């Protein structure tokens, strides 16, 4: 089945064509990062308007690239939550209307299910795909979510633990901002941390000293702020310290050397990777399962990948980098699995800005490969 995937939940317009036999045929991604950078965060109204500008052009582009036309499409999958309501409406409205005009089925996809299934995407990733078997433990680490899930089968997900405050990606982004790095902060911190001395600072591993699988990352952000403030004060030798307040916090990095910043980035990254590892180890023990599938933007982090691969007593899987962050292929694939199982939406267009993944409809065991 040839499925068009449309992702517009936040600040990236992701479009892809996925075919059950041949895998991803074409992909296109437009990032709005630069447009939002001047405002210091994603502006929802601007995001929606920009998706409107890009979506049709990118759909034409992937069709052309794959040598297909609208008549070849057999299904359309669009992200219908969670995410920014207006941004979701663009993809959902476009996708649903296009499916109606072509008289083909459409399916609304949960963005995090898209991430979760991305490591199974074939056939480019065929070897990995054929090794992954449900049930497995999934570590979902993105800008909006940090969750440990037991994935029993497609659509049957049990929440094992989640962040009680900031998501891991959010902590990367906020700490990066304090270090004077641009958004998205994860790759920037990773780049800087390579030059860092991992022994100079040790940040805590939040919530690892008590039982359970929940996370808390907001304390690490505070730790980053304090480390920067302390160094800034000592570098400037101010008797009464630097003035406080958010503006000053964001200016403090100017008083740090490149090595100071790299050492802090390194301590922060180590703490996130180690904390996630400790919780994953517990999740594997608790579930008795042997495979960990990690997904979402933060799963592109090399230190996290290495920590899990080297220390965890489990097989660790993740998608290629461009399928870890938001993209249209993961939506096309998740939608494909549901469409071939006979699921589809009726005619009305619905989005779910907040949406619990454990409430999804599960596919029957016989409904997927």
- Does residue 214 touch Zn ion according to CB under 5 A? no
Q: Tell me whether strands 156-162 and 146-153 are parallel, antiparallel or unpaired.
A: antiparallel
Compute the least distance from the CB of residue 332 to ligand KG4, in Å: 16
Contacts of 183 by beta carbon, 8 Å cutoff, 6+ apart:
33, 36, 37, 41, 173, 176, 177
Which is nearest to 293 in space by CA: 145, 134, 162, 172? 134
The tokens 């922060």 sit on which residue? 268
Distance from C-alpha of 288 to C-alpha of 10, rounded to nearest angstrom: 35
According to CB under 6 A, which residues from 261 to 290 bind ligand KG4?
A: none
Query: In terms of CB distance, is 188 or 326 closer to Zn ion?
Result: 326
Compute the least distance from the CB of residue 324 to ligand KG4, in Å: 7
- Does residue 5 touch ligand KG4 according to CB under 6 A? no
Query: In terms of CB distance, is 177 or 336 closer to ligand KG4?
Result: 177
According to CB under 6 A, which residues from 199 to 258 bind ligand KG4?
A: none
Among 179, 276, 289, 298, binds ligand KG4 (CB under 6 A): 298
The most distant pair of C-alpha atoms in the chain lies apart, rounded to whole Å, by 73
Chain Cα centroid distance, residue 228: 27
The contact pattern for ligand KG4, residues 308-347, with x = CB under 6 A and - = no contact, is: -----------------xx---------------------
Contacts of 47 by beta carbon, 8 Å cutoff, 6+ apart:
10, 11, 32, 36, 84, 86, 87
- Does residue 185 touch ligand KG4 according to CB under 6 A? yes
The contact pattern for ligand KG4, residues 134-163, with x = CB under 6 A and - = no contact, is: --------xxx-------------------
Distance from C-alpha of 18 to C-alpha of 280, rounded to nearest angstrom: 31
> Which residues are at the interface with ligand KG4 (CB under 6 A)?
115, 142-144, 169, 172-173, 184-187, 190, 296-298, 300-301, 325-326
């Amino acid at each position: 089945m040839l499925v068009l995937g449309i992702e517009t939940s936040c600040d990236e317009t992701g479009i892809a064509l996925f075919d059950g036999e041949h895998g991803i045929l074409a992909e296109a991604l437009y990032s709005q990062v630069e447009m939002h950078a001047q405002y210091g965060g994603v502006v929802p109204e601007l995001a929606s308007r920009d998706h409107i500008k890009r979506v049709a052009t990118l759909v034409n582009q992937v069709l052309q690239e794959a040598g297909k036309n609208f008549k070849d499409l057999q299904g359309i999958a669009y992200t219908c939550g969670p995410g920014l309501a207006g941004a979701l409406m663009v993809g959902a409205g476009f996708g649903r209307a296009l499916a109606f005009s072509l008289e083909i089925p459409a399916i609304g996809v949960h963005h995090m299910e898209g991430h979760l299934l991305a490591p199974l995407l074939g056939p480019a990733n065929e070897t990995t795909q054929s090794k992954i078997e449900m049930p497995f433990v999934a570590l979902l680490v993105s800008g909006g979510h940090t969750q440990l899930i037991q994935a029993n089968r497609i659509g049957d997900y049990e929440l094992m633990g989640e962040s009680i405050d900031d998501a891991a990606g959010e902590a990367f982004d906020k700490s990066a901002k304090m270090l004077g790095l641009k958004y998205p902060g994860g790759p920037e911190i990773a780049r800087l941390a390579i030059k860092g001395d991992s022994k100079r600072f040790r940040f805590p591993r939040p919530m690892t000293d008590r039982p359970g699988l929940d996370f808390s990352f907001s304390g690490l952000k505070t730790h980053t702020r304090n480390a920067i403030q302390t160094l800034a004060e000592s570098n400037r030798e101010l008797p009464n310290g630097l003035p406080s307040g958010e503006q000053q916090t964001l200016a403090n990095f100017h008083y740090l050397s490149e090595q100071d910043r790299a050492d802090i980035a390194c301590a922060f990254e180590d703490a996130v990777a180690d904390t996630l590892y400790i919780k994953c180890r517990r999740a594997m023990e608790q579930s008795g399962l042997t495979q960990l599938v990690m997904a979402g933007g933060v799963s592109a982090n090399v230190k996290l990948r290495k920590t899990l691969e080297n220390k965890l007593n489990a097989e660790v899987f993740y998608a290629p980098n461009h399928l870890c962050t938001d993209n249209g292929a993961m939506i096309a694939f998740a939608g494909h699995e549901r469409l071939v199982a006979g699921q589809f939406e009726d005619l009305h267009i619905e989005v779910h800005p907040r949406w619990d993944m454990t409430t999804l409809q599960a596919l029957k065991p016989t409904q997927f490969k």
